[in-house]
Structure 1
Amino acid sequence: MRTDRILDDIKSKTDIVDLISGYVQLKKAGQNWKGLCPFHTEKTPSFTVSQTKQMFHCFGCSTGGDAIAFIMKHEHLSFNEALAVLAKKAGVTLPDGSIDRKGIQRNEKIRNVLSEASGYFISQVPRAAKASAYMADRGISAESLERFKIGYAPAGWSNLLRHLRSRGYKDQEITEAGLAVSGEKGLYDMFRDRLMFPIMNMSGHVIAFGGRAFDDTPPKYINSPETPVFKKSETLYGLYHAKEDIRCENRVLLTEGYMDVVVCHQFGFRHAVAPLGTSLTPGHIQKIRTMAGSLVLVFDGDTAGKSAAKRALTLIAQQNLKASVLLLPDNEDPDSYLRKFGAGAFAGLLDKAHSMVSFIFRTATGEKLDAVRDALGLIALVSDLLVADELLIELCDISRMNESTLRDELRKMKQSGATRALPGRAADPRKGNSEEFLLLSAVIAAPEKADYVLSRIDIQDIQDMTVASLFRRFAAAQDRRDLSQILTGAEEDEQRLVTRLSVDPGFDPEYIDKNIEDCFVRIQKRKLDKKIRLAERSDDQAQSNALLIEKQKMIKGQGI
């Protein structure tokens, strides 16, 4: 079968409206369908899909084409990869030699490895009393376990590795899938003794994992590193399961964690999703905007939750999306609240979620005028005049200030560009866990030290997620001297940290070896101190004395 006949066969079995509706919320507009363009930010729908011509075109950014062109651009695939995706959806078998398969083999293998790993993790749950007891204690139903394919990564260094090897997968394929890390003694499992949450793309394929510890020992969560099939800044957990309900509700419920999403869905709130342990990004907002008209941020009511909400609102305003904020009672998250009080009480809280302006006033700690200026700064970021006007009128009602005065102030703010960023920005990360940053800085400054540092540090003990992710990148890199290769596909915060440490390493490069050893001594001392405290709390005098002797020997040996 010739290539053009293959294309005709696939296109004849693919309806472009059905296809694109899986990614964009479309509404009938005369003979065509319209929605917000998924390829650029816009306030008025200019993305048009013709069912009769089986074509799409955006009058805002001029992107257009057929079904294959849409999949290529939206999923960042080559022509051959997009053709294979549509062929599978259409039930068309591609004959050998019909396309160049070299471009899709790697990604297909990665997805196959991840799928096999997901099945392995699921199979381990019944064999692990610890995992089963944990899920029962958290009230997770059998239906939710099956729906989200939750599994368990057993303790040990190479359980998954041995399983995948036995299934014929090569070490390089396992590493490229982000399932194994290289150390001085060879490969070992990335995930160990953790509850496993598969992360899926919009087609339902497993593209990554999130692993949760059974206690609050940091890091509580570990995510897969970015791979050719997984980009963290554009992926939302639960979106595959939530997409149909999101379209029905025309609203997204944005929570903070995997368990929040699972429990929300279990209690009937099936439009809930969550970012993957990171702050909200423009990529996340872009996905949400194409599927729904608004979102509700559901955060913990503590200081950290309020700061996270403020940072998110700044980004949301820039993307012209309407949002409301629900701050839960102290020490509660959607998971715990739903299990304690039920779906009715949670629905009641959602009905009382605060608008963007109301949230700023409710959480303000300074003078009234400061809150007004914060609100005006947020409104100034909104380019959609109708949305901005609606927010301004609400600000008038809440602040009881003259509307013309507020409009004048808003106009001045826009003209001067002096928009106020909402409070809640992160502080210098190096102020805590400085050894992690210094060791990373040493590896950046002297890549030949990477093998030694990686052999002595357990990446899963690293508390800062950005530092841990960068160490994984170094561990997986073939050429650790090439920072551009290591930073390919890296998050913005990872790139910023590397450039910052490159110009400000935090130590004298002449004494890099001493810096590395001092860091490991301090890390070991901190671990011993923690063990000593635990022994003292449990009144284990013998263990406490033994640890104190060990600490004294270490201090004497290192001269500290």
Structure 2
Amino acid sequence: MDQQYEDFKKQVKDSSDIVDVIGGYISLQKKGRYYWACCPFHGEKTPSFSVDKERQFFYCYGCHTGGDVFTFVQKIENSTFPEAVKSLAARANIPIPESHRTAADVRREEKRKEMYRINDLACRYFSACLHKTKSGQAALEYFHNRGITDTIIERFSLGFSQPSFNALQTNMVKKGCTLEQLAAAGLIRNKNGHYSDFFVNRVMIPIKDPRGKVIAFGGRVMDDGLPKYLNTGETDIFQKRENLFGLDVALKPIREAKEAIIVEGYMDAISLHAAGINRVVASLGTAFSEQHAKLLHRITENVVFAYDSDDAGRRNAVRAVSIAKKAGLSVRVLNVPEGKDPDEYVRHVGREAFESLVKNAWNGTEFQIRYTISKNNVSNLAGKVQCVSNIIPYLQECSTEIEAAGYIKFLAQQLVIDEGLIRGEYRKKVVARPLRNNTVPQTSGQYSQPVPSVLEQAESNLLLLFFRYSGMIDFYREILQQIGFVSPVRQSIYEKICKLENADFSMVKESLFAAGDADINTETARILAGEDFATDEEDRKRIADDCIRKMQQNFLQRAYEDHRRLADTYASMNDPRFHEEIKICNELRGKITNLYGN
């Protein structure tokens, strides 16, 4: 990016006081040096969202989201970094310069703009076919018979594709679109040099991005014809794994309810919206992905999977629960009774019955356990052993040991076997693969903030010193080259600070936030949210030495554990390499004792 654009970004940021910007979205109250509010990114009743006016960043002690003013606008508006810059520039009445772009960049951007225009034209065409053609009346009746009102039809821009193989392309060509452009957008297809409409005689469901721009289409037959559904293939503006159907209309309801309901298909989502359940999105018939989980986590902490109740739907839900938990979401799974899908169920029994299912949904891990038990023959010991082995990976996804212990007890009750045996098997696995969040939860207080481990605090304090006094890095560079940071994110932050070569605090902070990495932004904000300390040079040196000492001790201890496990493995195999590993273990243990005592 050229210097003109960098200067533009700096001007925008300097003109966008973070308290003023955030205050335009949520109500802030000043307490001490910080401004506080209930976090807009997760549900809470007690404020844990803080804004530092002096240092121009925000941090939530509840969901651990943080960053600068650009980060906040990106998250609150579900926008990209360039879009956030443009939004703040418009707010500050700063004209946007023409940044330096290559010819390829220009062509790519023009192609995307043209595709958005074509999809919008197609959406309007399909809507007109639904409301203004004779053949569209059958499609309108189809929607009405499924309980989809005119209000919902308008909300989702639903339409109809004519029973003709060239009706769409004829109309679109008249509006200035080329056949190549229509094919690139997935609206027509080329077979042996002959173009025909991709969607024929189907009710049409536009797929939109979170800002409401049409990026693709889905088409459903109105009878028993096959294929039942047709979807636009992936294009320059549409990737299934990165988009959720209905998010443009469900965004506000999800934030208000502090919960999202996820279904598999768009007709499920539309039917639930028609029943008055508006916090619903669909994963577009594709597998729930990490990108979907991250997208939802920007909006809420709580998700409920309402997949079909057949085995395929339950199997998909098991997998989706693991992905959502990994992203830090609180997960539940509802069971639609009588083998129905959400669409069919809500149309037959109504909103209240469905909301009752949501209220009584199983916790995600409990669902995974129950499903796995149902798929194993647990009438004999061998089946129970296999079942436990299959379930342990789900226990490893628990955020705390306490949570894992609770599910171990539940599993023991379900299988009627000794709880200690399951715990033993679990311990064998957890040594090699620790819990995803190795922190201890606090009891209820102002906010639910995990207590950092001694090592995490040491790494954070050292980085806080480096933020403010980057000249200290040279003194510790050699030892850190050996031991590093356990946290990959903190290691990345350290490496980025090193590259800045003794920059001042303001430049360090600006550079880290400008990188646009969500994990780095959050961790940087969390570290900066720590209290100032060690203004005296001697104190800074003492604190840094103590942090290095704890990090080195942990490094040696981890090396010892690795070699000890190798020794155990070689011993069980009668492998002579056992003796070499024992020797290394003794050397490491001796070094740990000499440096740090027992």
Q: Equivalent residue for 1:340?
A: 348
1:107 maps onto 2:123 in alignment: no
Q: Equivalent residue for 2:319?
A: 311
Distance 1:37 1:148, change over 3 A: closer
Q: Equivalent residue for 2:125?
A: 120
What's the secondary structure of 1:125's corresponding residue? helix
Offset of 1:139 from its aligned partner? 1.6
Q: Distance in 2 between matches of 1:356 and 1:68?
A: 30
The answer on whether the counterparts of 1:16 and 1:55 sit within 8 Å (CA) in structure 2 is no
Q: Distance in 2 between matches of 1:28 and 1:224?
A: 50
Q: Distance in 2 between matches of 1:279 and 1:67?
A: 31
Superposed counterparts of 1:522-537, under 5 Å:
none
Q: Distance in 1 between matches of 2:94 and 2:403?
A: 48
What's the secondary structure of 1:199's corresponding residue? strand
Amino acid at match of 1:160: L
Q: Equivalent residue for 1:411?
A: 427
Q: Distance in 1 between matches of 2:331 and 2:420?
A: 25
The answer on whether the counterparts of 1:165 and 1:171 sit within 8 Å (CA) in structure 2 is yes
The answer on whether the counterparts of 2:16 and 2:88 sit within 8 Å (CA) in structure 1 is no
Q: Distance in 2 between matches of 1:181 and 1:346?
A: 40
Offset of 1:386 from its aligned partner? 5.7
Q: 1:67 aligns with which of 65, 70, 73?
A: 70
Offset of 1:412 from its aligned partner? 0.8
1:379 maps onto 2:395 in alignment: yes
Q: Distance in 2 between matches of 1:156 and 1:409?
A: 62
Amino acid at match of 1:314: S
1:321 maps onto 2:329 in alignment: yes
Q: 1:240 aligns with which of 236, 248, 257?
A: 248
Amino acid at match of 2:179: D
Q: Equivalent residue for 1:289?
A: 297
1:193 maps onto 2:201 in alignment: yes
Q: Distance in 1 between matches of 2:325 and 2:363?
A: 12
1:302 maps onto 2:306 in alignment: no
Structure 1 unaligned regions, length at least 5: 39-45, 420-560
The answer on whether the counterparts of 1:249 and 1:271 sit within 8 Å (CA) in structure 2 is yes
Q: 2:378 aligns with which of 367, 372, 377?
A: 367
Superposed counterparts of 1:161-560, under 5 Å:
161-363=169-371, 364-365=374-375, 366-367=377-378, 369=384, 370-383=386-399, 385=401, 387-395=403-411, 398-399=414-415, 402-415=418-431
Amino acid at match of 1:413: K
Offset of 1:290 from its aligned partner? 2.6
What's the secondary structure of 1:31's corresponding residue? strand
Bigger-Rg structure (1/2): 2
Q: Distance in 2 between matches of 1:315 and 1:27?
A: 36
Larger displacement relative to structure 2 (120-129 or 98-107): 98-107
Q: Equivalent residue for 1:461?
A: none
Offset of 1:320 from its aligned partner? 4.1
Q: Equivalent residue for 2:35?
A: 31
TM-score, with normalisation over the residues of structure 2?
Answer: 0.58
Larger displacement relative to structure 2 (193-202 or 292-301): 292-301
Q: Distance in 1 between matches of 2:30 and 2:269?
A: 31
Distance 1:291 1:402, change over 3 A: farther
Q: Distance in 2 between matches of 1:191 and 1:92?
A: 44
Q: Equivalent residue for 2:472?
A: none
Distance 1:189 1:85, change over 3 A: farther
What's the secondary structure of 2:306's corresponding residue? strand
What's the secondary structure of 1:124's corresponding residue? helix
The answer on whether the counterparts of 1:64 and 1:70 sit within 8 Å (CA) in structure 2 is no
Q: Distance in 2 between matches of 1:146 and 1:35?
A: 32
Larger displacement relative to structure 2 (360-369 or 278-287): 360-369
Amino acid at match of 2:125: Y
Larger displacement relative to structure 2 (198-207 or 286-295): 286-295
Deviations 1:222-274 (A, max 9, x none): 22222222221011111121122222222221112111111111222211111
The answer on whether the counterparts of 1:111 and 1:205 sit within 8 Å (CA) in structure 2 is yes
Q: Distance in 1 between matches of 2:359 and 2:168?
A: 45
What's the secondary structure of 2:254's corresponding residue? helix
Q: Distance in 2 between matches of 1:96 and 1:317?
A: 42
Offset of 1:197 from its aligned partner? 1.1
Deviations 1:132-160 (A, max 9, x none): 12112212111110111111111222222
Distance 1:162 1:197, change over 3 A: same
Q: Distance in 2 between matches of 1:13 and 1:142?
A: 44
Distance 1:5 1:379, change over 3 A: closer
Distance 1:390 1:67, change over 3 A: farther
Q: Distance in 2 between matches of 1:28 and 1:269?
A: 36
Distance 1:280 1:267, change over 3 A: same
What's the secondary structure of 1:230's corresponding residue? coil
Q: Distance in 2 between matches of 1:408 and 1:397?
A: 16
Q: Distance in 2 between matches of 1:290 and 1:390?
A: 29
- Residue identity over aligned pairs, in percent, reads 27
Q: Equivalent residue for 1:475?
A: none
Deviations 1:82-141 (A, max 9, x none): 6556667x5969679577693643322221211111111111112212211211221211
What's the secondary structure of 1:323's corresponding residue? strand
What's the secondary structure of 1:327's corresponding residue? coil
Offset of 1:357 from its aligned partner? 4.2
TM-score, with normalisation over the residues of structure 1?
Answer: 0.61
1:154 maps onto 2:158 in alignment: no
The answer on whether the counterparts of 1:393 and 1:403 sit within 8 Å (CA) in structure 2 is yes
Distance 1:265 1:142, change over 3 A: same
RMSD over equivalenced CA pairs, Å: 4.3
Distance 1:317 1:71, change over 3 A: closer
Deviations 1:431-467 (A, max 9, x none): xxxxxxxxxxxxxxxxxxxxxxxxxxxxxxxxxxxxx
Offset of 1:178 from its aligned partner? 2.6
Deviations 1:18-38 (A, max 9, x none): 8999xxxx9999536797999
What's the secondary structure of 1:295's corresponding residue? strand
Q: Distance in 1 between matches of 2:431 and 2:50?
A: 34
